[in-house]
């Protein structure tokens, strides 16, 4: 029970990595806010957690909307008294669109969800964390935030920005007892591919150029175990960095 007594907010938690993190956190004793655009699916995760003896609440939230972010964190405090761990997992892909074909609309949408959303949730929890001189933030970045062509231009830039945000927050707030780290997954079996609608042929060909070097695809539960470590006191000396979980894909 490494998270006993902790309150965790997880975005994009109705499926995939977010769901796996929510379920593992609950199994380890955390009270979990399961946040997602799809509140019915989030409630199904809550039901599974409760059936296993855990505690969770579903909250509908679009992290691209400031009012939803405010309500999300406020609900966590109203339900459980505080927030101890924030996991920014919500994200979308960008159809592998290269820079030459990129529209303002796609750029803005990808950044709104993948980068501005985490900034807003972080901004909202920091007063809570600074007041009690403790708190953990975990951002789900991507191998695409470390390498140049694992996706299109917007996703790549947005996830690089998440890495920079992680390092900035981690260092600047370290004296206040706050840790901020990121996880950079490689290929993982999730439904983020459903946000791909009409992949750009050129961009996809370039992004997939190194896919044969990928040792294997991971499972959401494998990323959840990394998130458990980072969220627990076991990672008390780990701050402002990125943990890559990709079976060695980016090591080549």
Which distant-in-sequence residues (6+ apart) come within 8 Å of 3 by Cβ?
Answer: 25, 28, 29, 30, 85, 228, 231, 232
- Using the 8-state DSSP alphabet, how is residue 188 labeled? B
φ and ψ at residue 156, rounded to 5 degrees: -60, -45
Both tokens of 163, joined, read 């890495």
Cβ atoms of 160 and 110 within 8 Å: the answer is no
Residue 8 backbone dihedrals phi, psi, to 5 degrees? -120, 135
Tell me if 228 sits within 8 A of 2, measured CB to CB. Answer: yes
Q: How far apart are CA 52 and CA 164, in angstroms?
A: 37
Q: Is 155 a catalytic residue?
A: yes
Active site residues: 155
């Amino acid at each position: 029970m490494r998270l006993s007594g902790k309150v965790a907010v997880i975005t994009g938690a109705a499926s995939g990595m977010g769901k796996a993190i929510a379920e593992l956190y609950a199994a380890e004793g955390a009270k979990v806010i399961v946040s997602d655009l799809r509140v019915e699916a989030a409630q199904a995760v809550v039901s599974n957690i409760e059936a296993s003896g855990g505690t969770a609440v579903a909250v509908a939230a679009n992290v691209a909307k400031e009012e939803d972010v405010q309500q999300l964190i406020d609900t966590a405090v109203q339900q459980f008294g505080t927030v101890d761990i924030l996991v920014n997992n919500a994200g979308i892909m960008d159809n592998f669109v290269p820079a030459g074909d990129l529209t303002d609309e796609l750029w803005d949408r990808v950044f709104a969800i993948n980068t501005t959303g985490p900034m807003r949730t972080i901004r909202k929890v920091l007063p809570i964390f600074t007041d009690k001189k403790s708190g953990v933030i975990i951002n789900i970045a991507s191998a695409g935030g470390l390498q140049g062509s694992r996706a299109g231009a917007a996703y790549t830039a947005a996830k690089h920005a998440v890495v920079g945000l992680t390092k900035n927050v981690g260092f600047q707030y370290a004296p206040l007892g706050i840790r901020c780290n990121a996880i950079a997954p490689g290929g993982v079996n999730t439904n983020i591919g459903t946000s791909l609608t009409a992949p750009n042929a050129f961009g996809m060909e370039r992004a997939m150029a190194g896919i044969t070097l990928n040792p294997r695809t991971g499972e959401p539960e494998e990323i959840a175990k990394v998130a458990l470590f980072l969220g627990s006191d076991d990672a008390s000396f780990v701050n402002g960095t990125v943990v890559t979980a990709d079976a060695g894909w980016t090591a080549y």
